[in-house]
């Protein structure tokens, strides 16, 4: 439900469709700081001559934040679903401006200095993220763990996984083209919404830029809503799940390559490196590495298929080319060949056993056949079952 008319700076409800900028603030019990934030935002609109509005997405405040927002001339949209991401998603849906600049309503960001964001948006950027490390972080504004561990590590992983050249992945002050971001279908209800916006914008080919911004200590007397370890894990989980390449494909490839090389060498004879002797015991670990690595590679294929189907991974030529190569028939032929090769090696091990009248065996000889045979049969079974799973994912959705 929306409350109140548009602020005076937008020229009235009749001109709502021509608004250039919505300044969006998610809010949950921000009575101490909300008025100051709205005043800064309205002052910016008046001083810059930008046709805009101030929109507060209230997430169920019980301290009178809604009345404060209306009194200060902001428009309020009530958001029943709790969560930072839920509030922002509803606010984006209700925004009337071509561009949206979002920021926390805790007085930690300066809403009176938004020119850099608007200039970058006007120049063609789809998403503009503030960089607090370049703009300046006031003493006490960011906890030690966030400043020197959480934010740098998560930002590095974001750049590594998605190629986004953003140094401050989780800055809460950011601007974007409303239609471009709305089309991404952002759904994360919690703090990981910030990561989802950058990740999906990158995957969709949006133009992303970064501008310096400042961060001040917030003006609240209560603890922040952010929880360091819980929300940090939610961000990391999101980055990993949406990158099958880094979560499954690359680690799986390394395991298969290392395990395969070890099995190829130690399967022929033991290897001595100085005083270290690698024999059939090491061979068993090589087999386990191959089995786990193949499972990760199959997960990469399955996750990519699901991601493309459900729209959170781009349906580019590379992804579709990878999936098209994994037909059910090809995978079943490959699985059958591996399984049969494993059975053949097992039969040879039985032959060696029979040659000793089924008595005591020499493990250093027999296990060189048993371990590779078990590995091949296990991998063959994995590939065959995964092929049917992938085929099930390709089935069209039934009408509802």
Residues 191 and 52 in one domain: yes
Q: Tokens representing 299?
A: 């997960």
Residue 366: pLDDT band with limits 50, 70, 90: confident
Q: How many domains does the chain have?
A: 2
Average per-residue pLDDT for the chain: 89
Of the three residues 220, 241, 262, the one that is the final residue of a domain is: 241
Sign of CA dihedral 64, 70, 71, 73: positive
Helices assigned H by DSSP within 242-362: 244, 250-266, 280-310, 317-325, 328-355
Residues 208 and 338 in one domain: no
Residues 93 and 22 in one domain: yes
Residues 203 and 136 in one domain: yes
Residues 291 and 387 in one domain: yes
Residues 13 and 68 in one domain: yes
Residue 143: pLDDT band with limits 50, 70, 90: confident
**What's the pTM value of the predicted model, to 2 decimals?**
0.79
Of the three residues 241, 272, 303, the one that is the final residue of a domain is: 241
Residues 266 and 206 in one domain: no
Residues 49 and 148 in one domain: yes
Residue 338 phi/psi, 5° resolution? -65, -40
Q: 95-120, pLDDT tens digit by residue?
A: 999 999 999 999 999 999 999 999 99
**List of E strands, 147-233:** 174-177, 208-212
Best CA proximity match to 390, nearest among 337, 335, 339: 335
For residue 311, being part of any structural domain is answered with yes
State the Cα–Cα distance between residues 38 and 46, nearest whole angstrom: 12
The DSSP annotation for 313-347 comes to: S---HHHHHHHHH--HHHHHHHHHHHHHHHHHHHH
Residues 166 and 264 in one domain: no
Domain span at residue 56 reads 2-241
Residues 151 and 280 in one domain: no
For residue 151, being part of any structural domain is answered with yes
For residue 400, being part of any structural domain is answered with no
State the Cα–Cα distance between residues 53 and 40, nearest whole angstrom: 12
Residues 343 and 356 in one domain: yes
Residues 40 and 15 in one domain: yes
Q: For tokens 């390709």, what's the residue?
A: 394
Q: 203-230, pLDDT tens digit by residue?
A: 889 999 999 999 999 888 777 777 788 8
For residue 399, being part of any structural domain is answered with no
The DSSP annotation for 184-251 comes to: T-----STTHHHHHHHHHHHTT--EEEEE--B-----SSPPS--HHHHHHHHHHHHHHT-HIIIIIHH
Of the three residues 179, 206, 241, the one that is the final residue of a domain is: 241
For residue 398, being part of any structural domain is answered with no
């Amino acid at each position: 439900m929306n409350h109140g008319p548009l602020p005076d700076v937008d020229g009235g409800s009749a001109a709502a469709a021509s608004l250039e900028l919505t300044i969006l603030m998610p809010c949950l019990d921000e009575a101490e700081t909300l008025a100051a934030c709205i005043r800064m935002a309205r002052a910016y609109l008046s001083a810059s001559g930008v046709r805009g509005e101030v929109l507060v997405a209230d997430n169920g405040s019980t301290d009178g934040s809604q009345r404060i927002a209306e009194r200060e001339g902001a428009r309020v949209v009530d958001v029943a679903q709790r969560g930072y991401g839920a509030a922002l998603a509803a606010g984006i849906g209700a925004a009337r401006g071509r561009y949206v600049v979002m920021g926390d309503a805790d007085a930690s960001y300066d809403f009176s200095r938004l020119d850099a964001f608007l200039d970058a948006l006007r120049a063609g950027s789809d998403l503009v993220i503030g960089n607090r490390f370049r703009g300046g972080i006031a003493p006490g504004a960011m906890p030690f763990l966030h400043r020197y561990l959480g934010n740098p590590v998560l930002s590095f992983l974001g750049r590594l996984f998605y190629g986004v050249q953003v140094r401050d992945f989780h800055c809460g002050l950011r601007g974007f083209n409303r239609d471009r971001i709305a089309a991404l279908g952002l759904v994360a209800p919690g703090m990981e919404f910030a990561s989802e916006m950058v990740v999906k914008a990158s995957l969709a080919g949006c133009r992303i830029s970064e501008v310096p911004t400042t961060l001040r200590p917030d003006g609240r007397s209560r603890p922040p809503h952010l929880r360091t370890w819980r929300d940090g894990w939610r961000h990391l989980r999101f980055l990993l799940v949406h990158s099958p390449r880094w979560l499954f494909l690359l680690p799986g490839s390394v395991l298969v390559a290392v395990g395969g090389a070890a099995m190829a060498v130690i399967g022929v004879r033991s290897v001595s490196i100085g005083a270290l002797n690698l024999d059939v015991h090491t061979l068993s670990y090589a087999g386990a590495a191959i089995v786990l690595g193949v499972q990760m590679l199959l997960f990469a294929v399955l996750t990519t298929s699901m991601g493309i189907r459900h729209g959170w991974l781009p349906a580019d030529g590379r992804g579709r080319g990878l999936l098209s190569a994994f037909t059910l028939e090809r995978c079943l032929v490959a699985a059958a060949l591996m399984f049969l090769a494993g059975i053949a090696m097992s039969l040879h091990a039985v032959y060696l056993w029979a040659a000793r009248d089924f008595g005591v065996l020499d493990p250093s000889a027999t296990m060189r056949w048993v371990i590779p045979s078990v590995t091949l049969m296990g991998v063959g079974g994995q590939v065959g079952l995964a092929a049917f799973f992938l085929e099930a994912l390709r089935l069209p959705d039934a009408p509802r």
